[in-house]
Structure formats: C-alpha cells, structure tokens
Structure 1
Amino acid sequence: MKLAYSNQTYSGLISQISETYKSGQKKALQAVNSTLVETYWKIGQHIVAFELKGADRATYGNKLIETLAKDLSIKHGKGFSRSNLNYMRLLYTYYPIYQTVSGKLGWSHYVELLSIGNPLERQFYEKKSIQENWSIRELKRQKSASLYLRLATSKDKQAMLKSIEQEKRAFRPEDIVRDSYVLDFLKIPESHHYTETELEQRIIDNLQQFLLELGKGFAFIGRQYRISLGNRHYYVDLVFYHRILKCFVLIDLKKEEAGYQDIGQMNMYLGYFEIEENTEGDSPPIGIVLAKDKHEMSIKYATHNISSQLFVSKYQLYLPDEEELRCIVDAQLNDPIITT
C-alpha cells in the first residue's frame, strides 16, 4: 500500500498513526474474540465426547463439570469456573457444527445467548446482535425488555422466521416501527395522571434510553418542531432523522387512545416535511402517532389510502408480564395452522 508523505504536518502524522493503531487494535480484538470462542467450542466438544464415550465417565457422573473446574483451575488459573465450563458445553451442544458459530460475536455475547433455552428466541437475538452490531449492554437490555416476545406476540411464526432469515434485506419503514414500545425507564406510576407535556419532558430527560427503545439508526433533531402555515402554527412533539433510511421520523405523543383526528394531523405533518423540509437525497418522512392505546378497526379505516409512511403504535409504561407473553408466543408456535 502506497502512502503519500509529501508536505505532511506533525499533527497529520499523529493522526495517521493513531488511526492505524486503533484499526489494528480493533482487528486484534476481533481476532482474539474469534479464537477464544473457537477454543471454548472445542473444549465443549471434548466434554460432551467424554460424557458420551469416556472410558471412566461413570466415575465422575454428574460431578464431571465440578471436578473439571477444580482441576483445570489449579492447572491453568482463572477461566475454568463451573459456570464457564457449563457455557462451553452448551456452546457445543447448541452449535454442534462450528461453522454456525458467528465470528462477529464475542464470548460475552454467547454467554448471554446460551442462557436462552428457546432455539428460535436464541436465534432471533443472535441475528439481531449481528445485524445491529449490539454491544453486550444492548443485548442484555433487549433481552430484559423481552423484545423477542413483544415482536412475536404481534406477528405470526412465519413473519418472525422471515425477519430472522432475511439478514441482508434493505430496511423499509415498517422495519423500524414497532407495534408497541415499553417506556418503563420514564418511571411514571400507572396511577399518575400525567399530561402529554410531562410525557414529552420525561422522554427528553431520558433521551438516550428512548433512542435505544426506538432501535438502530435514530438521531434526535428536536422537540416541539414548529410548522407554520400562513398565520397558523403547529408543533410536532418529537423529530428524529433515520440515518439508514435517510428520512425524518416525526412522533406525535398521545396520553390516551389515538383518534382519526391524530391520523389527519400527522398526515399533514408528513406532507409539510416532504415538501418544505426534505433536501436532495432525503426519502419521504415517516410519521408515528405514539399513543397509550389504539382501536385497531378505527385506525384501519382512518389510515385507508393514506401514506404508507404513517404508523400508529402503542406505548406501555411498564413491561408486560414475561410469563404471560411467553404463553401467547407458545400458543402461536404450537398452532398447527402456523407451524405447517
């Protein structure tokens, strides 16, 4: 690789070296993570093979992992705790073909994934981690927020499988908008009679968490964004820009059920932004009416023949009961009509 050094300043040299060093660090870390996962997979393979065919496997029985943890820790030090060895065993058990283990995820990611017993749910979080480059923190957050369960309750099995399998499909507006959002981080008591202004302020105060809940690619533009039509002024509660879809995303907050008037108002906002705010290269804006509740049939008729970029979603102040969600998902997955 040929580099140009003519008339280079010292600050330019520092910048050049720093970029090269950071790039090398990143590649080295990825290589270490990949090698570590492969090593742990092979250790898991050894353990399972011994459990099946070991000459003296009966001697150790259920205490094999405990005995291994003790002896390997003496021999090699840290890294061979009982829990870690159990995860290594699970890694091989869940991924018996090593080529199915992603080199894009580190061991810490797999520790989180291996704790998920449902294969479909585990696959969903694995694919999402790869697609959206989730950190360990983000993977943990989405797991604790039951993202899979919330999506699964609003889609049939085929739709869920399709979303998992189509890793490289281009983003569309419907890919970034969810049926339901959980705003538990706002810490608004269910019995509290809050106003839309208070709801907006709490979102602004917890903007980082709200951006995580919205998903990948959102950048905050502003609040109470003014639209002037002659002598009349209107205000969009929250405006974002989606860097992947390259479009504005407008959010209007409603503390009660969304009505047809809210649909009409959002459609006006979308028209204004597309004509007045969009610049060259921008895609048509997306509008989300985010309400405490919505009447499905009313929304269906109110949005008939209206922009496909307009969505009505619900928010919940607290995460639904996980067991209840799992029961709904299990019922869907066991439905003979769906699973055929």
Structure 2
Amino acid sequence: MRSKNNPFPLFENIKTIIAETQHYIVRNVNAAMILTYFQIGKMIVEDEQHGSQRAEYAKETLIYLSNELNKEFGKGYSVSNLEYMRGFYITYQHRISQTLSGKFDQLLKSQTLSGKSPIPFPLGWSQYVLLLKIKNEDERNFYEIEAAANNWSVRELQRQYNSALFERLALSKDKNEVKQLATKGQIIEKPADALKSHYVLEFLGLKEESKYSENDFETAIIDKLEHFMLELGKGFLFEGRQRRFTFEGDSFFVDLVFYNRLLRCFVLFDLKIGKLTHQDIGQMQMYVNYYDRKIKTKDENPTIGVILCKEENRTVIEFTLPQGSNQIFAKEYKAVLPSKEALKKQLE
C-alpha cells in the first residue's frame, strides 16, 4: 500500500537498483580499460626487448601501432598515449604478479558484482597519465591514495598537485610520518594532522599586490566555499559565518565556523589580511574558550582555532602560545600557487 509520504516506493526501489548497476558498469568498464592499457604496455615493453636497436625500433613501432590501431578502433591510440601505456606498465608492473599478468582473461573475470576487485588500479586513465608525470615514487603514491579516497576528478587532482599538497603536509611531519603519507595517505588523528603548513587560495582571485578588506576576503571564501573546503581537506563540514556571542553587552563574531567529523570538534577560523599579532592570538583564545565551555558537548573534543593570516610571526606565536599547544594555530595563506621547486628544497 502506498503511503502519503512515499506514494511510489516501487519507482524509488527501481531507481536505486538502476543507479547501483550503472555505477557497477562504469566501474568495471574503467577497470577493463585500465587492464587493457596495462597489457598493451606490457606487450610493447616485451616487444622492445627483442629489438636490436631499441630507441629507434621503439619509435618506429609506436608510430606503426598508432596508425593501425586508430584505423581499426578509432581515436585513443596516439603515439603519446601508447608511450603512457608503456610507462604505466613499467611503473606499476610490481602490483600484479608475472604469473597473473600474462593471463589477461583471468584478470578481467576477477571483477565481482560486489564491486570488490583485486586489481589495484582504482583511478581512471587520465588520472594515471597525470600520476606518471610525477617522478618521486612517494609523492606519486600519496596522490594516488588521496585521489581514490576522496574521489578527486582529474581537475581536482591536478590542482592538488599544482598547489604542492604533498610538500605542504610533509613540511610539518618527521621522516616516519612523511613515509606514512606515501603508504597510507593523510591520516587524521590529532588537530595538527588536519592542517597544512600553509593554505593556497588562488581560486579566490585575490592578487598578492592588490588591496582588499577582511570582509572582501571572507566574502570571496563564501563565494568559493566548495573550493575552500577542498583546500581544507578531510572531514570538514561548514557550520556558518559570523557566528555571534555576547558578553555583558559586548558582541563578538567568529568569521568562519566548521566542524571536523574525523576529529569530532569545532574548527574556528579568524581571517587576517595582515601580519599576525599577539592580539589576534588572544582573541582566538577567547573564541576557543567560549566554544569549549558553551557550545561543544561533553563527548566532543576540544575546539581548534586557526588564524588564517597573510604573514605569520613566529616569535609572537612562540611567546604567546603555551608550548605544545594543540588548540590554536596560525597559518599563512597564499593568494597564488606556490613554487613546487622551493617547497621541495625546503622539504629536503
């Protein structure tokens, strides 16, 4: 019998099964394509190994293959794409045993209706093409793990790489934790884990040399909230802007309030367009204290306060905050993409 709230449950049930089936089909088509390209790369590499003049032989072979495959199957087999397939096999051949990699039909049949697959290629081909351009293995592994875990599109993956996410996370970690980034991705266990060394806000369109107010800064973030939350990273939920509270007739406003579901705590952002001052830290301490004492519940963790400023002042931070503070942080923001080369040198 149909209820007033859901007069067509049959439609909803059919819609759900169709959506699940479409997802399964897309996922398995992608897996089949990736495996096909892996196998093509394997065959090219093995064929090259039998050539007496490898460099010239490989070039002529790829040109011939490209022409013939495009005639037979249409676009998608350019010389550059065949070179990527070759590089894909060379880079990732360790993920599939030699015994299994020679049995292409068994690899395809190993896909299951449950969506669980033993084939360790969770991304699309365009994403792997981008990853192949990253020479550092740890960095490449990190971006693959994060792209799969967060469902990054190619554009999002490119943006995270261009903004040097790996370097910005690695700068605040020791060697063991950096290695963990390459094997497990970003793990959020304590407040510092959720924060980057600095934030890149090039998507706001604010020029480094231009003059803008803190209200302009806040409005630009709200207008690009989806991009800002992508930059913040894992677990962040937007709670509101200009959250007001009053003491003895005086009103105070927290610029931006988020909640992090992984850390299970509020995260307050105060926006500053100038250099950090000790007054900024004192103000944030008051905001954090208020949320800890009046807003958060007993089963939630202590509130985190982040002062997002144009320029840090490490001396002020050192002598204003207690040693080992894990509630208040000052982080710089950049209005333009950073130099990856400079960050790599700093990391080294």
Tell me which interval the TM-score lies in, with the shorter structure as reference length.
Answer: 0.7 to 0.9
Which deviations, in whole Å up to 9, do the C-alpha atoms of 1:297-328 show, x marking residues without a partner? 33123221575122111111112233333444
Give the distance between the partners of 2:58 and 2:88, measured in 1 at CA. Answer: 20
Partner of 2:110: none
* Structure 2 unmatched ranges of 5 or more: 98-118
Q: TM-score, normalised by structure 1?
A: 0.86
Cross-structure match for 2:251:
233
What aligned pairs does 1:209-224 form with structure 2 within 5 A after superposition?
209-224=227-242
The unaligned stretches of length 5 or more in structure 1 are 1-5, 333-340
> In the alignment, is residue 149 of structure 1 matched against residue 146 of structure 2?
no
AA aligned to 1:322 is K
Q: Please report the RMSD computed on the Cα atoms of aligned residues, expressed in angstroms.
A: 2.6
* Higher deviation after alignment, 48-57 or 201-210: 48-57
Q: CA distance change for structure 1 residues 59 and 160 in 2, over 3 Å: closer, same or farther?
A: closer
What is the match of residue 113 of structure 1? 131
Q: Which residue of 78, 88, 91 maps to 1:91?
A: 88
Note closer, same or farther for the CA distance 1:238–1:39 as it changes in structure 2 (3 Å cut): same
The yes-or-no answer on 1:22 pairing with 2:19 is yes
Q: For 1:318 and 1:55, how far apart are their aligned partners in 2?
A: 49
Residue 155 (structure 1) shift: 4.4
Alpha-carbon deviation of 1:10?
5.1
C-alpha separation in 1, matches of 2:333 and 2:56: 56
2:172·2:196 contact (CA, 8 Å) conserved in 1?
Answer: no
Q: What residue identity is the alignment partner of 1:282?
A: E
Structure 1 residues 144-192: Cα deviation after superposition (integer angstroms, max 9, x where no partner):
2222233345545443212232359554322211120111222223222
Q: 1:294 deviation in Å?
A: 1.4
Q: 1:181 corresponds to which residue? A: 199
**Equivalent in the alignment of 1:163:** 181
Q: Which has the higher mean CA deviation after the structures are superposed, 268-277 or 130-139? A: 130-139
CA contact (8 A) 1:41 1:98 kept: no
**Cα distance in 2 for residues equivalent to 1:251 and 1:59:** 58
State the alpha-carbon separation in 1 of the partners of residues 132 and 30 from structure 2: 16
Q: Which residue does the alignment assign to 1:43?
A: 40
Distance 1:53 1:44, change over 3 A: same
1:1-340 → structure 2 map (5 Å cutoff)? 11-54=8-51, 60-99=57-96, 102-155=120-173, 157-167=175-185, 169-279=187-297, 281-304=299-322, 307-329=325-347, 332=348
Percent identity between the two aligned chains: 39
Structure 2 CA distance for partners of 1:72 and 1:300, relative to 1, 3 Å? same
Q: Is the 2:197–2:331 Cα contact (8 Å) retained in structure 1?
A: yes
Shift of 1:115: 2.0
Shift of 1:281: 4.6
Aligned equivalents of 1:250 and 1:221: distance in 2? 10
Q: TM-score, normalised by structure 2?
A: 0.84
Counterpart of 2:19, as a letter, is K
SS at match of 2:49: helix
Q: CA deviation at 1:212?
A: 1.7
When the two structures are aligned, how many residues end up with a matched partner? 325
Q: Distance in 2 between matches of 1:26 and 1:16?
A: 16
Q: What amino acid is aligned across from residue 149 of structure 2 in structure 1?
A: Q
